[in-house]
Structure 1
Amino acid sequence: MGRTRHAKRKLPVTAPISTRAGPVGDKLPASASSAATRTVIRQFHVLMKRREQLLRKTSGKNQGSKSAANGRDYEELAQIEQEMEMLGGLERYQAMSSIGQSVTKGGGSEKVLASWLKELRTANKDVDSRLRLLDVGALKHDNYSSSKSFIEATPIDLHSRHPHIIEQDFMKIDPNSSLPFHQGIPSNKDWDVISLSLVLNFVPDPYERGQMLHLAHTLLATDGLLFVVLPLPCLLNSRYLTIQHWTLLMAVVGFSLLKERWKEGGKVGYWLFQKVEIPKSVSKREVPFSKKTVLKEGASRNNFCILIS
């Protein structure tokens, strides 16, 4: 039997938000297949990376390049903005990322971090106070609700999806201020733990990724902990990074590796670092962290990189 003339056509997952009726909460998907979430996230990352390149060029901040912006660059930038809107903008990216880390798809990285923190807490016999955790890029306000007996979490994100998630750009936190960036939370240099779960790979510029790591180091208390989650292809299939290169780079920034969890063929890797004094024996001159250096050849490699300026 043929479809009736009045049958409602199913909208694609990347349909513009404006085509969906109802309040904001109804405009975003509650569920989607793994393939659908990966598609939207991948498309968004590609657009964000190109958008950043064009923004740097049109603002005259294109490091290492003498090329000037022309009319086509501005046209392409406008087209990218339109494409991002057609994908649903940051809200749809967040929705798809949230679906991707849902319990039905393996759970979020907060489970890994909570278990590691519990192990360290038991080993150090530190059971009298809760750890002050800054959850950067939080898609859910209650990620650590099951661990609230020993974790006091403050979730922040560029675009808050919940009243309990503070809308705050991590990169705009002033480390020199003696005041907290938001009322009722620890001061800017008092964090016991900072979580950057699938955050570094979302930053489109390699130098900004390095700046993010430097800022995390500054904001952490003495012996503070930094939790980083990255898609494994960022390290295993990059031209410019390897696992060894990654941990050495972190040592240069001032982080000592405590724990890691990843496997060949896996999708993501988890790392827990502790803030330390930067060793005098380690400097940027010893390893090429200030510019891209090809470590692995191959046409199928990606260009993910972290640079220290």
Structure 2
Amino acid sequence: MTKVPKKRASGSVLLSRHRLKPPTQSGSAAAKPGSTASLSSKAGRTLIRAHHTLQKRLAQALSKNDHEAAAKIRVEIEASGGLEKYQAASINGQSSQRGGDSSKILMQWFDEDKALHGIKKGSLKLLEVGSLSPDNLISKSPPFTLTRIDLNSQHPSIETQDFMERPLPRSEEDKFDIISLSLVLNYVPDPVIRGEMLRRTTQFLRAPKEGETETHFPSMFLVLPAPCVTNSRYLTEGRLKEIMESLGYVLVKRKLSPKLIYGLWRLDDAEAAKKKTRWKKEEVNSGQQRNNFAVTMK
């Protein structure tokens, strides 16, 4: 879990993640009576949606400085199992038995384009933000050396860290070839901090090399629930593309499923993000049944 955030508009990504007791199991989700390991897919999705709803309510209460309401919502979050139960449900949903490992899509793209052909073992550095398990498919791919971080690590191979508080790289050698943000951005409760997170990724990716013909690196693998762009008042695929391009990214791979949208975004212009293009919260897709997911930048 992260530390209690500082009182500033652009503080820690998650506003309610107080430190919990570390899990006692050594694996990613050891089964025990009443644990999420025995949850059905539907029950797991219900738990995850409920947790997201509570997080949004908490963010709204804090934005209004309603500390009494925020305290009550935190009690609700802890009563429902808190972050640990949410993570366990997420791990359960991403198990190979349920086909939920999003890195499979990334590896399929690499295989289709022979993007990893001839690359030496361990020569590609990947930062996996919001890592739930060290056993996903990409972790078994020889070219990659993984750095895994999460707010509440469920495994000794995953460092407990908030990406928004991770120290910036001191040199190009400390940067990464690829960053994975799989179902992370949608957890952030504030549109401004979502924008800050996307902008911050550019500081962790190595700069494109002069004359480089590589089509897949440096890049970010971004995965979101499909409704974030297919049924939002404030964000469409087109608007997301505009935001990403203002940061210097170019979309090179895309897949839309009924539940998720996957994108591989190559960083072509490492200096673009420094211009700090502003993106307001404005309606781009009207309709009464739309959700309010948004990404803004100041």
TM value normalised by structure 2: 0.79
Runs of 4+ in structure 1 deviating by more than 6 angstroms, as ranges, are none
Q: 1:145 to 1:110 in 2, by over 3 A?
A: closer
Equivalent residues of 1:136, 1:156 under 8 A apart: yes
Partner secondary structure for residue 156 of structure 1: strand
Partner secondary structure for residue 279 of structure 2: coil
In 1, distance between residues paired with 2:269 and 2:261?
Answer: 25
Further displaced range: 96-105 or 132-141: 96-105
Report the equivalent of 2:267: 275
Q: Is it true that 1:208 corresponds to 2:215 in the alignment?
A: no
- 1:35 deviation in Å? 1.7
Partner secondary structure for residue 293 of structure 2: coil
In 2, distance between residues paired with 1:131 and 1:228?
Answer: 18
2:176 equivalent among 191, 206, 210: 191
Equivalent residues of 2:191, 2:296 under 8 A apart: yes
Deviations 1:271-300 (A, max 9, x none): 0001121698xx877xxx521111122111
- 1:34 deviation in Å? 1.8
Report the equivalent of 1:182: none
- 1:169 deviation in Å? 0.5
1:159 equivalent among 121, 138, 152: 152
Q: 1:279 to 1:222 in 2, by over 3 A?
A: closer
Equivalent residues of 2:243, 2:279 under 8 A apart: no
Corresponding letter in the other structure for 1:88: G
Report the equivalent of 1:246: 240
Equivalent residues of 1:240, 1:304 under 8 A apart: yes
Report the equivalent of 1:98: 91
In 1, distance between residues paired with 2:276 and 2:73?
Answer: 35
Corresponding letter in the other structure for 2:259: K
In 2, distance between residues paired with 1:125 and 1:148?
Answer: 12
Q: 1:124 to 1:222 in 2, by over 3 A?
A: farther
Query: What value does the CA root-mean-square deviation take over the aligned residues?
Result: 2.4
Further displaced range: 142-151 or 131-140: 142-151
Q: 1:48 to 1:124 in 2, by over 3 A?
A: closer
2:283 equivalent among 273, 294, 298: 294
- 1:141 deviation in Å? 1.6
Corresponding letter in the other structure for 1:220: L
In 2, distance between residues paired with 1:124 and 1:143?
Answer: 17
Equivalent residues of 1:237, 1:301 under 8 A apart: yes
Greater RCO (Cα-Cα under 8 Å, separation 6 or more): 2
Q: Is it true that 1:55 corresponds to 2:62 in the alignment?
A: yes
Segments of 5+ residues of structure 1 without an aligned counterpart are 1-21, 59-72, 180-185
- 1:28 deviation in Å? 3.3
Equivalent residues of 2:149, 2:161 under 8 A apart: yes
In 1, distance between residues paired with 2:38 and 2:57?
Answer: 28
In 1, distance between residues paired with 2:56 and 2:100?
Answer: 27
Corresponding letter in the other structure for 2:47: V
Q: Is it true that 1:44 corresponds to 2:36 in the alignment?
A: no
In 1, distance between residues paired with 2:225 and 2:54?
Answer: 18
Q: 1:125 to 1:161 in 2, by over 3 A?
A: closer
Q: 1:86 to 1:204 in 2, by over 3 A?
A: same
Answer with 1 or 2: which has the greater Rg.
1
2:296 equivalent among 284, 292, 307: 307
Deviations 1:208-247 (A, max 9, x none): 1111111111100123110000000000000011111111
**Count of matched residue positions in the alignment of Structure 1 and Structure 2:** 258
Equivalent residues of 1:51, 1:80 under 8 A apart: yes
Q: 1:93 to 1:290 in 2, by over 3 A?
A: same
Deviations 1:134-164 (A, max 9, x none): 1110110222466331221121100000111
